[in-house]
Chains A and B, each alone.
Chain A
Amino acid sequence: MNDADQVVERAVEAYRALADLAETIEDEWQYVTDLADAYLPSIQALADSGQTFTANQITAADEAAAEIGLITDPHKAIDWLSTFPHVLALALGGDVGDDAVSAGGAGADR
């Protein structure tokens, strides 16, 4: 497993744990499941771009994963189920399928 695979795998693991926490809000189980089903493949695909991540990108992805690992409130977890994939995509210079999140830094998408 290369660096790209490993950093994305850590992100996937963190995201799954976040979804597990979010699922404890029973009324939102379907929404949480739908979000995870939609975003997990997109997160995993970030490792498939063939690009090599810089040390800063790997640090960014791991910090983002650490951030969601600190969440204990399931309501906040639901909020981060949609935030984390986009933050991760910005960190790794990929996209997760909408909103034109792309690499290139501030101003690149205006």
Chain B
Amino acid sequence: MRFQDAAKDARAVVYAGIQADSLVARVAALLAAATTAERWLARAAMNGERTEADIWRRIFPSLFGEGAASELRTRAEQILQASLEVANRGEAARSSYRGAVVEELTARLLVAGAAAGTPVRRERRVLFDGVPAEIHPYDVTVESATRPQVYDCKWGARGINADVLNQLDDARAHAADEDLELDVAIVVFDALRSCEIRLDRSTANRAGTRLVALGELDCLAEPRA
């Protein structure tokens, strides 16, 4: 088994420009240190109809109300402003930015949990001897010699589909054929309940695939045993 950079087609080149936008890194850095409530604020504001900050402050009184400590209000304000910047990129661009944010957030959390020197990379393929390469690269890979991991990242539970689940499970199975343990996971910036509802209707094999939803994101920053 080996990792390899994915060849860039035209769409990937355009998307790479979004991934490299400093706004993506800024939002992801804020969300990496955020609470679950703050991550819900970001999810809502990045996909809202209205972009007036005062409206969102009223919707989240536990973050912006008088009861919140000033340093926490400051952080929530930074998250809100950055999220509204994403929203203000317009409906057409929002989904690409949101996807890039979830990938960058995942990568940042994984770096925190990875052993020193372990490469955490983006847009990589996993190649197995005698197996045709997958169509889609993995969003994030942890390229540990002893505990390799691959992650697919989704903004919402609706992004979970059979193709994604099958690709992850196939990779895990092919690695097992080479006597390697490959951790495969799908990270979804959405409610666990919604993800489980989505998965309940799927017939794809997912027994070996870990699901990480919005409320459990911090587990990505914990070292894998």
Residues of A at under 8 Å CB distance from B?
Answer: 28, 30-31, 34-35, 38-39, 54, 56-57, 59-60, 63-64, 67, 70-71, 73, 76, 78-83, 85-87, 90-91, 93, 96-101, 103-110
Contact with A along B139-157 (1 / 0, CB 8 A): 0000000000000000111
B68 near A105 with CB under 8 A, answer yes
Main secondary structure of the interface of B (DSSP, over half): helix
CA distance A99 to B39 in the complex (A): 11
Is the CB–CB distance between A79 and B158 below 8 Å? yes
- The 8 A-B pairs of least Cβ separation, nearest first, read A99-B215, A82-B194, A106-B72, A70-B49, A105-B62, A98-B193, A56-B61, A98-B192
Are B37's CB and A82's CB within 8 A?
no
Closest to A80 in B: B47
Specify which chain A residues have a CB less than 8 angstroms from the CB of B50 in the assembled complex: 67, 70
Residue-wise interface mask of B (64-96) relative to A, using a CB-CB cutoff of 8 A (1 in contact, 0 not) = 010111001101100000000000000100000
Do the beta carbons of B213 and A99 come within 8 Å of each other?
Answer: yes
Is the pair B215, A100 in contact by a Cβ cutoff of 8 Å? yes
Query: Which of the segments B11-19, B115-123, B169-177, B195-203 contacts the partner chain?
Result: B195-203
Question: Please, how many angstroms separate the alpha-carbon atoms of A80 and B156 in the complex?
Answer: 10
Query: In the complex, how many angstroms separate the beta carbon of B159 from the nearest chain A beta carbon?
Result: 10
Chain B interface residue count, Cβ-Cβ cutoff 8 angstroms: 45
Known contacts A35-B197, A105-B72, A110-B218; is-contact A83 B60 (Cβ 8 Å): no
Verify B215–A97 contact, CB threshold 8 A.
no
In the bound complex, residues from chain A placing their C-beta under 8 Å from that of B157 are 82
User: Chain A nearest CB: distance from B48 CB in Å?
Assistant: 6
Inter-chain CA distance A67–B50, complex, in Å, is 7
Flag if B40 contacts A87 (CB, 8 Å): yes
Task: Contacts A83-B40, A86-B40 given; indicate if A103 touches B62 (C-beta within 8 A).
Answer: yes
Docked-complex contact A106 and B59, CB < 8 angstroms: no
Q: How far is the CB of A22 from chain B (nearest CB, A)?
A: 10
| Residue contacts A-B, CB under 8 angstroms, 8 given | A78-B158, A79-B47, A80-B47, A83-B40, A98-B193, A99-B192, A106-B72, A108-B62
Chain A residue with the shortest CB-CB distance to B62: A105
Say whether A104 contacts B62, CB under 8 Å. Answer: yes
Known: A28-B158, A78-B158, A87-B40. A59 touches B194 (CB 8 A): no
The answer to whether B59 touches A67, judged by C-beta atoms less than 8 angstroms apart, is yes
Whether B193 pairs with A106 at a CB distance below 8 angstroms is: no
